Structure 1
Amino acid sequence: MIKFLLVLLTFALLASAETEFAEPKPAIDNQRQIVFSIKSANDEDIHHVLSSANNVLKFYGPENVQMRIVAYYHGIKALLKANKEIALRVRALKLLDVEFVACGNTMKTKNIKEEELIEDTQIVTAGIVEMIERVKEGWVNIVP
């Protein structure tokens, strides 16, 4: 019984702990730079990435975050207008200045035309290279 109470108390303390910001703290002039990737065509996986991005924006505040979501391989599905439910969520995140990037190589391979993408989607030559370059610049790569 005592062991159970200690475990319960430890869990309660951890659950109520506040996150301490690393220095310098996030601000408009010191934004957290975060990059996510979507490489799966599974709707649940896509929604998970979009929800994780939304959670980060809620925690820090959208003005304190610079965020890019790069879609490549089967994940390009996330940026197609035809997928109405996901497109709605992507457009909502775009309103918070999240940048969405499509892999041009994937588009060529899958015969996807630019007009099939959600408006204002950036196209780069290679999505994986986009990820490498952002990480090299110091962006945090989140893999939910």
Structure 2
Amino acid sequence: MKILFNTLKAFLFVSLAFAGGNVQANDNAYGKQKVVYHINYDNAKKQSSTLRNIQNHINAVGADNLDLRVVMHGNGLSLILKPEALTNVPKFKHANADQTMSQKIDKLKMQGVKFNVCANTLKGRNVNVDRDLYDATKEDIVASGVAELAHLQQQGFVYLRP
């Protein structure tokens, strides 16, 4: 009898734990969201933490329920700056697009996250998109990072700067 009780208790615990982990994803408690994350800092740990926040956001809301953008300007461009590019762009102190960071970016892009790059930063710091940036294309470039942030907020995007 005791063995049966312990087995039922274990089954109930596992069932509740499994169900509890899926409640938000299954019932879509958060609804559809439009969010823009702002990155203008070059600290690799903080950038990595921001990417982790974005993944947690996706996990909670669901990729299909999100229109999520990352807007980078100024020092924030270091997120996708290749380490070997530092010799080409002396106005940057850090280039954080190492293998680990690149994998995180790839994973987010596969879930629909769009990364936008400020054209003013590219021009002002002489950054060559094809040579210096990880997985950036002409379509990723916006005229101005701060103008893009304001524009997205006018369109109903929630602004986050972790």
TM-score tier by shorter-chain length is 0.7 to 0.9
2:119 aligned partner:
104
Residues 79-110 of structure 1: CA deviation (Å, up to 9, x unaligned): 22432222221111001010000011011111
Identity, % of aligned pairs? 25
2:133 aligned partner:
117
Match of 2:69, SS? strand
Q: Give the distance between the partners of 2:48 and 2:136, measured in 1 at CA.
A: 20
2:80 aligned partner:
79
TM-score normalized by structure 1? 0.76
Match of 1:45, SS? helix
Cα distance change on mapping 1:25 and 1:87 into 2, 3 Å: closer
Alignment of 1:1-144 (within 5 A): 26=31, 31-82=32-83, 83-84=97-98, 85-115=100-130, 116-121=132-137, 122-144=140-162
Aligned-pair RMSD on alpha carbons?
2.2
Q: Give the distance between the partners of 1:77 and 1:25, measured in 2 at CA.
A: 32
Instruction: Select between 114-123 and 67-76 the one with higher mean Cα deviation.
Output: 114-123
Instruction: Select between 122-131 and 107-116 the one with higher mean Cα deviation.
Output: 107-116
2:89 aligned partner:
none
Unmatched 5+ stretches in structure 2? 1-22, 84-96
The number of equivalent residue pairs is 121
2:88 aligned partner:
none
Partners of 2:39 and 2:161 within 8 A in 1: no
Match of 1:138, SS? coil
More helix by share: 2
Q: Give the distance between the partners of 1:54 and 1:81, measured in 2 at CA.
A: 22
Unmatched 5+ stretches in structure 1? 1-17
Give 2:48's aligned amino acid.
Answer: H
TM-score normalized by structure 2? 0.68
Deviation at 1:120, TM superposition (A): 4.4
Q: Give the distance between the partners of 1:69 and 1:92, measured in 2 at CA.
A: 14
Match of 2:108, SS? helix
